[in-house]
Amino acid sequence: MTADQSDQYTFGDPTTRYPNIHPEVQQQPEPGLQSKMTPVPDLGENSYRGTGRLTGRKALITGADSGIGAAVAIAFAREGADITLSYLPEEEKDARHVIGLIEAAGRKAIAVPGDIREAAHCRALVDAAVEGMGGLDAVVNVAGKQVWQKSILDITDEQFEATFLTNVFAPFWIIKAALPHLKPGSTIVNTASLEAYTPAPDRLDYATTKGAINNFSKGLSQQLVSQGIRVNVVAPGPTWTVLQVTGGVDPETLPEFGSSESPMGRSGQPAEIAPAYVFLTSAESSFVAGETLNVNGGMPTP
């Protein structure tokens, strides 16, 4: 955030709204900790201002410990929602940071660590959310796995399976378990990517899952819209998160991450992506269903 930006509503030049970072080459073992990154991503801790757009809502958010998922959790809480946070046990340190901010906003924070690659955990996660918040009316699937490989020959069966389990199977299991609890007015927001449209050749399995979740969401939207449940998608472009420093991209490309791809000349920060999820979850988007909202710094998509 620049010095002259007080909150997400401050008028200004979007190309310089957040710094054009040039991260040093750095790597962590998966899943990594955002708190150990240089620079640490901006979640909107000091800038996001709520206006009551989600007052009384009860949201389940995956990947809520860091990156986009954490920024969404903070924004939702400041908009008046209670939050159930899904994350891996190894990410507890980052999750505690987010939980503290949710509670500082006066909202409930239900922590449910565990591995969403397991169907049983996904079902238990939904049960814990319903019990802990007294209901559920917003499901936000953000958690993702991304590992770069130069060639398809380098993608192991284990990596391919883990990527699909995290990015496609887990949202399917979570939504299926959540659906009996969702009343008219409820929302589901899934996370695709720019790579659903322009797949990077060195992130072949990741890009494939993002195309799958995009299509899954559009088909599911048509199933559920008559029940008053809206399904939409956010498709971020290059965003500075812990995925990038845990093998998500070629480490040698980190110093120029995002700046050579985006017409804005820089990568995005999680704080910039979160408002898209707020919009699609709030009642102000009541006539929006089956939509993919691209938040990518101006990179053309179909």
- pLDDT tens profile 256-270: 998 878 899 999 999
Confidence tier at 211 by pLDDT (50, 70, 90): very high
Residue 38 lies in a domain: no
CA distances for 49 relative to 79, 200, 257, angstroms? 8, 35, 28
How would DSSP label each residue in 80-97? T-EEEEEE-GGGHHHHHH
106: left (phi over 0), alpha (psi -120 to 50) or beta: left
**Is pLDDT of 81 > 80?**
yes
Number of domains in the chain: 1
Residue 250 lies in a domain: yes
CA distance 84 to 178: 13
Amino acid 6: pLDDT: 86
pLDDT-derived band at 1, boundaries 50, 70, 90: low
Examine residue 222 and state whether it is found in any structural domain, yes or no: yes
| 130 — pLDDT class (breaks 50, 70, 90) | very high
CB 245 within 8 A of CB 32: yes
In the predicted model, what is the mean pLDDT of the chain? 96
Q: What pLDDT, on a 0 to 100 scale, did the predictor assign at position 260?
A: 74
| pLDDT value for 259 | 80
* 56 Rama class: left (phi>0) / alpha (psi -120 to 50) / beta: left
45 SS3 class: coil
205: domain CATH number is 3.40.50.720
Confidence bin at 3 (pLDDT 50/70/90): low
| pLDDT beyond 60 at 203 | yes
Mean pLDDT, range 115-122, rounded to an integer = 98
User: Is 115 within the bounds of a domain?
Assistant: yes
Neighbours of 4 (CB within 10 A): 11
Q: Are 62 and 170 in contact (CB under 8 A)?
A: yes
CA dist 269 to 42, 116, 157, 169, 232, Å?
6, 25, 32, 27, 21
Residue at 196 is within a domain: yes
206 in active site: yes
280 to 80, 214, 245, 295: CA distances (angstroms): 15, 15, 29, 13
Report the alpha-carbon distance of residue 241 to residue 280 in Å, rounded. 22
- Taking residue 146's Cβ as centre, other Cβ atoms within 10 Å add up to 24
| Residue 183 located in a structural domain | yes
The one catalytic residue in 18, 197, 206, 277 is 206
Please write the tens of the pLDDT for every residue from 17-71: 999 999 999 999 999 999 999 999 999 999 999 999 999 999 999 999 999 999 9
| Residue that has been written with the tokens 């980190």 in this structure | 254
For residue 155, name the pLDDT band (cuts at 50, 70, 90).
very high
In a domain, 18, yes or no: no
* Pair 198, 299: CB distance under 8 Å: yes
59 is in which domain, residue-wise? 44-295
Q: Provide the greatest CA pair distance for the chain.
A: 50
Percent helix / strand / coil, the chain, rounded to 5: 45, 10, 45
- The pTM score is 0.97
pLDDT value at 253 more than 80: yes
Residue ranges with strand state E in the chain: 58-62, 82-87, 109-113, 138-140, 187-191, 230-236, 292-295
Is residue 234 in some structural domain?
yes
User: What's phi and psi for 140, nearest 5 deg?
Assistant: -125, 110
